Structure 1
Amino acid sequence: MSEPLRSISRRALLQGAAATGALIVLHPFSASAAANQAHLRIMETTDIHVNLLPYDYYADKANDTLGLSRTASLIEAVRKEAANSMLIDNGDLLQGSPMGDYVAYERGMKEGDVHPVMKGMNLLDYACSTLGNHEFNYGLSFLDKVLAGANFPFVCANLIRGTEKAANPRDDKLYLKPYLILEKRLKDGAGAEHPIKIGVIGFVPPQILVWDAKNLAGNVLTRDIVEAARAWVPQMKEEGADIVIALSHSGIDIKQADMMENASYFLAGVEGIDAVFTGHQHLVFPGKKDFQQLAGVDAEKGTLQGKPAVMAGFWGSHMGMIDLLLERDGGKWRVVSATSEARPIFERVDNKNKAVVEDVRSVVDALKVDHEATLAYVRRPVGKTSAPLYSYFALVADDPSVQIVSQAQSWYLKDILKSTQWKDMPLLSAAAPFKAGGRGGADYYTDVPAGDIAIKNVADLYFYPNTVRAVEITGAQVKEWLEMSSGIFRQIEPGKADQPLINTDFPSYNFDVIDGVTYRIDLSQPPKYDAKGNVINAGSSRIKDLMFNDKPIDPAQKFVVATNNYRAGGGGNFPEINESKVIYEAPDTNRDVIVRYIVAEGTINPSADANWSFLPLPETSVVFETGAKARDFISQVKTLKIEPAGEGENGFAKYRILL
């Protein structure tokens, strides 16, 4: 006997709206469906990453841009707009916030335990989910225990148990069921109910075998997403699936290759698939920002090769929806029209984030104990720092808060690249100061004292939720990277006193320091690039004495540079640094990498190694502003002659550098 979809009659809808005084607007498909037609809304959450409540554990404060308890309010609201609805999840549930690490590393999972993610999701009537790449971060045994606590099924068609692939993908010994045929009942435009078979198939990025080799090697294999789909979707149709939806924990890329990480575009082209739910990239589709001007991708309508698709952001930031108008013909249903939407849980008002929904209280209550335990976890030391971490002088001297980020990135990538073709290539690391005053104000600086360091201190070190990337570039491109970075400094006239040093139009997060090379900056030269990456002085060369291994850098030598997804994707418009140079896209955030590095090291040594400095300019001085507490750290800056130069504006202090 088939189960009814979540449905609502028009009379009940109108009565509910009248009782609450709320205006609930039916989707056009529900409002206009004929007797032989039905509206089905399929809702998606994706990339929750254990962000179950609107709380940033790294920063140890509330955050209105995230939280499944907030997304749950959207689930309740959008169900009321549709005659029939079902809810799915697209993976990346178990890792990504300190709550996930707390459960995995501290509390553990015993047989019969219910993971906090499942406590929340079990309250929301999910129909199905697939696996994301982060489900494997804590090992297969951990994953199995978590899945046992879900009251909804998981599917994955390209994860193979064991170490052998079959000649035919249908003969693979899969880790989970490849798909499900959900037998439901649909309410049509006249209010009558009819049976429908909804096929749900899931996919995970094949790259999990690289990203989590230590957990997966010798235990599982993966298959190409599109190859697996072409094998299994026909069987789903043979078993009577009226429609087939793909849960693709994979992003959108139109450059085809084998074993693609982001294969959703090509998955949409598989015959028999009616709708694609995407994720993994932490972007929003449809929308006005992401995936513009890609052939075959309609970012306004939300289609891939003409098929409806959606990507619902990350951390619960959006609810994804695909609305299908189905028509019944000879006892079978087919899609006659579709729309897509990614609806946010917050909006930007006066440059601030404002919640547009409230928490679902049942979810909050179910997670109260886990939330309090996670707070205790992030506030407890996980390591030590042998020196203070501060950013008061990050724009004028090599800095410990930037140094530790570079060290963590190099530590992480060195281990990953050791089994790749880049294992013997020199590894550099680029990082920039995020909290360096500016518009953030006179208190907007990193300031972590020597001694114990807790997980929540990592937000002080790395403000943004970037993910790690590696790019392959030449020595000549390393120099141009640094030329662009040095644009934060004004041109200085030799022999003149107290000239303003910092170009305040140049954001500090674009002032990259590259560790692994040494160099000096000639401030007497004009900047080659402006703050937007435009060449303004083609013949200028500020970067002097650029050395690798104590020798002048070879312009033709190849280097791997550790950075973040913003820079590697072209953020900041650095010369020739873009996605074409990316050789590795890590699944982990820079924050998580820093935490792992601290835990692994026990005691970190963030002392700056003074790999860059200013070229001396006799009888010349410059001034800059920084936080008032900078006075406590002047003695630790060994590469500069710095002295107080009075008070700045708005609480800042002014300092002088004798060049």
Structure 2
Amino acid sequence: MPDGNGDLQGFGPASADTQDGVALRILATTDLHMKLLPHDYLSGNPCDRGSLAQAASLIERHRRSAPNVLLVDNGDFLQGTPLGEQAVLNTRHDHPAITAMNLMGYDAAAIGNHDFAFGIDLLQSVARQARFPLLAANLQVRGKPDFLKYVILNRRLRSDRGKPIDLRIGVIGFLPPQTTAWDSDLGRRMACDDILLTARRLVPEIRAQGADLVIALAHSGISHRPWTPGAENVAVELALVDGIDAIVAGHTHEVFPGSGMASAPGIDAIAGTLEGKPAVMPGFGGSHLGVIDLWLERGPWQEWRVAGALARCEVVTSLDVPVAPAIVKAVAPTHRKTVSRLNTPIARSGRRISSHFALAGVDPVSALVNMAQRWHVRKSLRGTTFEGVPVLSAAAPFRAGGRSGPLHYTDVGPGRLSQANLADIYPFPNRICALALSGAELRAWLERSASLFNRIVPGQADQMLADPRFPAYQFDVIQGLCWQVDLSQPAAFRMDGTATGASRIRNALWRGRPLADDDLFVLATNSYRLASHGLFSTLVASRQCVLPPGPRTPEVIRNYLRRRRRIDIDAAPSWLFVPMPGTTVILQTSPAGLSLLPDIAGDSGLRIEDAGRTEDGFAQVRLHL
């Protein structure tokens, strides 16, 4: 199969003796991000990239073909599309995701970091609606009951000979320890422990309580890097914990097993194993269904043991899998309200607003966000000691390709701007805030952003511009400054925020003069940048927050647009690459962005040209440095 088909030797009965064996099929979804229907709320059109409603039909097929099925989800199901925002506005009714999952008969689900996007109170309310347990083993809630850490499901299964077999199945869930660091509001209300240390403590407890089998739902990625305390992506190390039999991974939106992930020590991307144990990571947004087939036999002490396994991910598309009518019907009321709300007009734009060439310096999306943030912060600082201090603003493109594929770009045409366009421009419920920073600290901010680029060798042709491991949402552009990026130098920071000692930022200017280290500014940004973990964490730590997290940024942008009524965004870049004669780089973008090439060249002076396509559908453009 193109997405990987695991194969462990010994699956099925090993011999025709008198002992009964049991075949158990584990079906898994992960990172649904409120993709309940095959509908693109940003364009208003149907889409064929998967959904929960289609996965439900595929799941029913499996239930008809396999005698023993367990259905689990691995978190991040409450946030991600405008449907999730609409669900929050209708708290008098059950959440549509939970309603759908109840109908589908989920047995258990882990909680992911994005499930806290609308607050812990909403999540706890949603958990009460679920007819299946929501699990978070490494989470402690302050002042309120914790979520369940694990559950032991008592299931009567059928053996290969048709006999009833009672099995006790332990299911434990984990979420990234950084969840509380990424949102300072959450950090005051709960704490997250290390995944691996929690597993080593609790899995023996689950076994001691009589579990015959333990499945780990790890909202955590698959990484070849060695474990360190508090690590984010530890699915491989989790497989080494004695007592865990199978793993469902997630969080990083990858497909495992599959051709898109490389094998490494302990990681078999073809067989679908981590340290020899079966594992799946079924993409995101209902794109795939993870399937783990386990063959269980009695051991020498009559204990159940895994004698064989198969792991695979099955593609979910509208061409192959129809929607389940019951799920469509359950979600329909919230869907209709979402579509109606998204059609609400806000303002008008005189130009196309897209993120196709954000990494080349042409980024009207971030420019609009920065305009709105500066407007709000200036207004909010009136009458304070910081009134009159120059206000700058930092923003990054959220939808700029990467792992989410060539369709994952913001692209809003000229004319009417609707609520749907706003969701395209700013899809996350971050809150606006502002910091007091010096010129030296602003330069360090830019150095972190510029670490997204690969080091480029002068004089060589067609080198890849961006490091694919570095997400575009970390690429902040500061409105109010001008600067250059020297790609011949190494990145100044690694993705975890540790410094390398290098420097790339050159000729940083404010109002036409060199940026001085002791200049004082107010920087408008968002609450995610206040995280105590990650690329910007050491820079924002202990810095004065002159405007604590307030309204959600999409609300600020909407209010700004309504006040302006019409906008014309200047597409001229505020930053450029230091010239490197005889050198070209390749930037990946969406094929839809190629029509912009003449305008990009005219507005920015960049020499840029079409350079073909990649196998996974990206357009490649050649940028002459």
Please tell me the TM-score bracket, short chain as reference.
Answer: 0.5 to 0.7
1:230 aligns to what? 200
1:371 aligns to what? 335
- Matching residue within 67, 81, 84 for 1:83: 67
Would you say 1:608 and 2:570 are equivalent positions? yes
Give the distance between the partners of 2:364 and 2:176, measured in 1 at CA: 36
For 1:150-189, what aligned pairs fall within 5 Å after superposition?
A: 150-162=130-142, 175-189=146-160
Would you say 1:92 and 2:76 are equivalent positions? yes
2:110 aligns to what? 130
Give the distance between the partners of 2:36 and 2:356, measured in 1 at CA: 37
Name whichever of 217-226 and 472-481 sits farther off.
472-481
Would you say 1:259 and 2:230 are equivalent positions? yes
For 1:221-620, what aligned pairs fall within 5 Å after superposition?
A: 221-253=191-223, 254-290=225-261, 292-329=262-299, 330-346=301-317, 355-381=319-345, 383-384=346-347, 388-390=351-353, 400-401=364-365, 403-404=367-368, 446-449=412-415, 452-456=417-421, 458-459=423-424, 514-516=477-479, 517-518=481-482, 547=509, 550-551=512-513, 595=554, 598-599=557-558, 601=560, 603=562, 607-608=569-570, 610=572, 612=574
Conserved? CA contact 2:355–2:399, under 8 Å: no
Conserved? CA contact 1:428–1:514, under 8 Å: yes
Report the residue type matching 1:194 in the other structure.
Answer: I
Give the distance between the partners of 1:41 and 1:48, measured in 2 at CA: 20
1:447: how far off? 2.2
CA displacement 1:274-298 (0-9 Å, x = unmatched): 11111111111111112x1432111
SS at match of 2:305: strand
Give the distance between the partners of 2:22 and 2:212, measured in 1 at CA: 13
Distance 1:456 1:28, change over 3 A: farther
Distance 1:314 1:402, change over 3 A: same
Conserved? CA contact 2:366–2:397, under 8 Å: yes
Give the distance between the partners of 2:516 and 2:447, measured in 1 at CA: 8
Distance 1:393 1:69, change over 3 A: closer
SS at match of 1:118: helix
Conserved? CA contact 1:392–1:627, under 8 Å: no
Give the distance between the partners of 2:356 and 2:312, measured in 1 at CA: 45
Distance 1:308 1:374, change over 3 A: same
Give the distance between the partners of 1:182 and 1:393, measured in 2 at CA: 48
1:520: how far off? 8.0
Give the distance between the partners of 2:399 and 2:298, measured in 1 at CA: 59
1:499 aligns to what? none
1:610: how far off? 4.6
Give the distance between the partners of 1:146 and 1:279, measured in 2 at CA: 21
1:598: how far off? 2.0
For 1:48-59, what aligned pairs fall within 5 Å after superposition?
A: 48-59=32-43
SS at match of 1:126: coil
Report the residue type matching 1:380 in the other structure.
Answer: T
1:419 aligns to what? none
Report the residue type matching 2:154 in the other structure.
Answer: E
CA displacement 1:222-255 (0-9 Å, x = unmatched): 2111121111111111111111111111112233
Distance 1:81 1:386, change over 3 A: closer
SS at match of 2:368: helix
- Matching residue within 44, 47, 53 for 1:69: 53
Report the residue type matching 1:157 in the other structure.
Answer: A
Give the distance between the partners of 1:92 and 1:70, measured in 2 at CA: 18
Conserved? CA contact 2:170–2:211, under 8 Å: yes
Give the distance between the partners of 1:554 and 1:256, measured in 2 at CA: 40
RMSD: 5.0
Give the distance between the partners of 1:297 and 1:238, measured in 2 at CA: 29
SS at match of 1:262: coil
Distance 1:409 1:84, change over 3 A: farther
Conserved? CA contact 1:406–1:430, under 8 Å: no
Give the distance between the partners of 1:83 and 1:472, measured in 2 at CA: 61
Distance 1:366 1:201, change over 3 A: same
Would you say 1:118 and 2:89 are equivalent positions? no
Report the residue type matching 1:368 in the other structure.
Answer: A
**Unmatched 5+ stretches in structure 2:** 1-8, 377-391, 429-441, 490-504, 518-522, 527-533, 539-551, 578-593, 606-625
Identity percentage of aligned residues: 32
Conserved? CA contact 1:58–1:458, under 8 Å: yes
Conserved? CA contact 1:518–1:546, under 8 Å: yes
1:203: how far off? 1.2
CA displacement 1:60-111 (0-9 Å, x = unmatched): 111111210111122112234433211111111111110110111x32x13x
Give the distance between the partners of 2:373 and 2:254, measured in 1 at CA: 23
Report the residue type matching 1:262 in the other structure.
Answer: N
Would you say 1:45 and 2:29 are equivalent positions? yes
Conserved? CA contact 1:92–1:133, under 8 Å: yes
1:601: how far off? 4.6
Conserved? CA contact 2:366–2:477, under 8 Å: no
Q: Which has the larger radius of gyration?
A: 1
1:140 aligns to what? 120
Give the distance between the partners of 2:77 and 2:399, measured in 1 at CA: 30
2:498 aligns to what? none
Give the distance between the partners of 2:254 and 2:153, measured in 1 at CA: 29
Give the distance between the partners of 1:307 and 1:42, measured in 2 at CA: 14
CA displacement 1:121-169 (0-9 Å, x = unmatched): 1111111112111221112221122122212222221111217xxxxxx
Conserved? CA contact 1:479–1:546, under 8 Å: no
Conserved? CA contact 2:86–2:334, under 8 Å: no
1:553: how far off? 7.3
**Unmatched 5+ stretches in structure 1:** 1-26, 164-172, 347-353, 413-425, 465-470, 492-502, 530-542, 564-579, 585-592, 616-624, 641-659
Distance 1:399 1:138, change over 3 A: closer
